[in-house]
Chains A and B, each alone.
Chain A
Amino acid sequence: MGVNELLQVTNLSSSFQTEDGLVRAVRDVSFHISHGESLGIVGESGCGKSVTCLSVMRLMEQNGRIEADSMRFEGRDLLSLRERQMQKIRGNEMAMIFQEPMTSFNPVFTIGFQLQEAIRLHQGLNKKAARNASIDMLKQVGIPRPEKINDEYPHALSGGMRQRAMIAMAISCRPKLIFADEPTTALDVTIQAQILELMQKLQQEIHTAVVFISHDLGVIAEMSERVMVMYAGRIVEIAGRRNLFKDPKHPYTIGLIRSKPDMEIESPVLTPIPGTVPNPLHTPPGCPYHPRCEHVMDICRSTLPELISHEQMHQVRCWLYDQQGAVHGS
C-alpha cells in the first residue's frame, strides 16, 4: 500500500452489549483510504457500515467495544490517542454528516451558533470572525440569504436546507476526511440530486477524502471511486467502481444488483435474494451469506472464506474464487 494513505484500518472489530446478548456489528474489517479519494460502503441495514465509521471516529455508545490491530490516521494510531486528542481530530480533521437532517441539529441553538461552535473550537477564531466564517460556509453550500439563516433555529429550515447546513458544518474546518452516513436517505429524489451534486462539487473544490455510506447502489456508483460491500459485519467485496458494477464477483453483490431495477438498464425480471438479512445476534456459521446463496457449497456452511485478491484492487470473500482468480464450482 502506498505512502499516500490517509487512513489505514486493520482488523477492526466492534461490538456492543445488548439485553439479548453481544452484537458483533463489525468483524475484522480492514480498509484504507487515500487523500482526496472517495470510498463507498454499501450494504443493508445492520451490515455494520455505520458502525465502522463511528468506530473510526470513536463515537460508539458507552456499551460499545472497539478492537483493531491498528487504526492509523496520518500516521497517528487513533486507538491509542487520549480522548482529549481525539476531540482535536473530530470535527477538525475528520468530520461526519448524518442521515437525519431533521434531528441532527440541536433545536435550542441557532444554525450559526452550532456552526461557529466547531469553527471557534478548532480554529481559535473570535466571535465575529467565526460568524463571518459560518456565513461564508452557508453561502458555499448554496443556502440562500446566509446571513439570515445563520441566525435561524433549525426548526425554520426544510430537510434539504438542513442537510446543506450539516454539510457546511462538516467542511467548516476543512477536514481531510468526511464520513457521510446515508446523507440523502431521508430526502426526496430531487433534493437528493441537489445534495449529491453539491457534495461532488465541494469534494473537487476542497479536495477532501470522503467515505460515503449508502444502501443505494446507484448513489454509491455516482459518488465513489472505490466501493466496499459489507454483509453481516464483514467486507465481502472491495473493488474499483467500474469493476464492481460491471464485473461483480461476490454472489451477494450480484444479488443486490439484480434485485433492484435500474432506470438505465433494461431488465424484464427482478431477481430477489431469498431469505432475510441475518439477525446480528445469530449470524450463520461459515460464510454468513450461505443460507441465501445460490452457489452454496459444503465448505461455505462450515468455514468462513478469507478476503482474497481476485485481481489487482479487487478483493472478494467467497469460496468460489481462489487466489489465482479461477472460479470453482459451476
Chain B
Amino acid sequence: MEADVMFQLKNIQKFFPIRTGLFSRVTAHVRAVDKVSLTIRRGETMGLVGESGCGKSTLGRTMLHLLSPTSGESLYKNRDVFSLSTQELRKLRRELQFIFQDPYSSLNPRLNVSEIVGEALSVHGLAHGRERDERVKEILSVCGLAPQHAKRYPHEFSGGQRQRIGIARTLVLNPEFVVADEPIASLDVSIQAQIVNLMEEHKDQFGLTYLFISHDLSMVKYISDHVAVMYLGKIAELSSTAALYKDPQHPYTIALMSAIPSIDVDAQKKRIVLQGDVPSPSHPPSGCYFHPRCPYTMERCRIEEPKLRDIGGGHLAACHLVQQGGGRL
C-alpha cells in the first residue's frame, strides 16, 4: 500500500502576508491554503476543484515548492520536498512538472518551439545538439504537432496548439508527476476536449500521475480517479470520483454541482443557489468557513470547525451534518 503512494501532503499551510499601515507591518494573512492533507497514489489522477481564490492553484504550487510553504510537509516518494537544498530541488524538478493555465503567457515569445521544448533537456544534461532536436521532434509529434513546427515562434500558434507546446515542454523531461493548473480554462470548448484526451493518452503512455486543478466539475469528473473539493483554503470533501458525483455529502459540493448548467433540457433540476459572495480568505468566518452561505447552518457550525472525517469507504467530508456511512441529519 505504502509503495504506491507518490505524494503525501501533511498539513500544508500557505499564508500570504497583508501589509498595511504606515510602516507596512504585517497585520493579517491571506490563508490561501490552510492545513491541507492529501495522498496521491502512483498512476492516478487527483482532481482538485473549487472556485477562484479557494487556494487550489496555491496548493499545487506549494506542494512542488514553487512557492515556499508556511508550514507542513510534502513527501514525494517519502522525501520531503520542502527540506531539500536548492541543488537537490533543481535536480528533482525533472521528475515533477507543471502545466500552466495561460497558453499565451506560459511560452517565452522570443524563443522558438524547439528552444522552448528543448532548453530543459540541455539544462538537465539529458540531450544535446542533434539528439536534442530528435527528442524535441519526437515529443512534438506525440503532442499532435508537426516536426516542422519546431522552428516557429509561439505567436504563430493558436491557444490549443500553444497548450500542446507547453505540454511537450513538460513531457520531454519524462516526468513522474505533473501538476496541471487549469490547463483547459482559457481554451475554446471544442479544443478543451482535445487537450484532456491528449493528457489521458500521455498518462497511459508515460505512466504519469496527475494533479488536475480545475474549476470545471464536469471535466474533473471525466478525467479524475479521485476528487478533492476545496473551499477557502480547506478541503471540504474528498472521495473517489464515482462516489463523489453519485452521492456528494458536503452542502458546498452539492450546491456547486447543482450550479452547473446542463444541456439536458428535460431534466427537472432543483438548483441550489448559494447566497452571497465567497468570504475573503484573509478574514474567514468563524467555525465552519462555509456556514454563512450554507442552507443547513446550525448553531454548532458557527462555533466549531468541522474535521475532515472518513464517512466510509475513503469518502471524506468536513461537515457537522454528515454522519458515518453517509446521509444527512
- Residues on A facing B (Cβ under 8 Å): 44-45, 158, 160-161, 188-194, 196-197, 215-219, 221-222, 241-242, 245-246, 255-257, 259-265, 270-274, 276-277, 279
Contact = CB atoms under 8 A, between A and B. Distances in A.
Contact of A45 (B188, B258, B266): B188
Contact of A190 (B192, B245, B255, B261): B255
Given A188-B215, A272-B190, A272-B193, 13 more contacts: A44-B188, A189-B256, A193-B271, A218-B261, A221-B262, A246-B266, A259-B193, A261-B218, A262-B264, A264-B269, A270-B222, A274-B194, A277-B158
Contacts of A158: 277
Contacts of B273: 190, 193-194, 197
Contact of B219 (A188, A192, A261, A276): A261
B149 to A, nearest CB: 13
Contacts of B265: 221, 241-242, 245-246
Contacts, number: 123
A190 B255 CA distance: 8
Contact of A257 (B263, B269, B274): B263
Contacts of B188: 44-45, 215, 277
B196 interface: yes
A251 B264 CA distance: 19
B192 A263 contact: no
A276 B194 CA distance: 10
A193 B271 CA distance: 8
B51 A189 contact: yes
Given A188-B51, A260-B192, A261-B221, A276 B158 contact: yes
A190 B193 contact: no
B141 interface: no
B190 A273 contact: yes
22 contacts: A45-B188, A161-B277, A188-B51, A190-B256, A193-B258, A193-B273, A194-B273, A196-B261, A219-B261, A221-B261, A221-B265, A255-B190, A256-B189, A261-B221, A263-B218, A263-B221, A263-B257, A264-B264, A272-B196, A276-B160, A277-B190, A279-B158
A271 B193 contact: yes
Interface residues of B, number: 41
B36 to A, nearest CB: 20
A279 B215 CA distance: 28
A282 B265 CA distance: 36
A189 B278 CA distance: 11
Nearest to A186: B52
Nearest to B222: A261
A216 B218 CA distance: 13
Given A44-B189, A221-B263, A264-B264, A189 B221 contact: no
B259 A276 contact: no
A265 B264 contact: yes
A93 to B, nearest CB: 29
A193 B189 CA distance: 20
Contacts of A273: 190, 193-194
Instruction: State the 3 A-B residue pairs at the shortest beta-carbon distance, nearest first.
Output: A218-B261, A272-B193, A193-B259
A314 to B, nearest CB: 15
Contacts of A262: 218, 262-264
B277 A276 contact: no
B274 A264 contact: no
A265 B218 CA distance: 10
B267 interface: yes
Interface string B261-303: 1111111010101110110000000000000000000000000
A235 B39 CA distance: 48
Contact of A197 (B196, B263, B271): B271
B193 A263 contact: no
Which of A190, A256, A265 is the most central at the interface, judged by chain B CB atoms within 10 Å of its CB?
Answer: A190
Which of B194, B217, B221 is the most central at the interface, judged by chain A CB atoms within 10 Å of its CB?
Answer: B194
A189 B193 contact: no
Interface string B243-260: 001000000000111111
Nearest to A243: B265
B84 interface: no
Contacts of B217: 189, 263
Contact of B192 (A45, A259, A264): A259
Contacts of A194: 273-275
Nearest to A160: B277
A45 B188 CA distance: 7
A274 B273 CA distance: 36
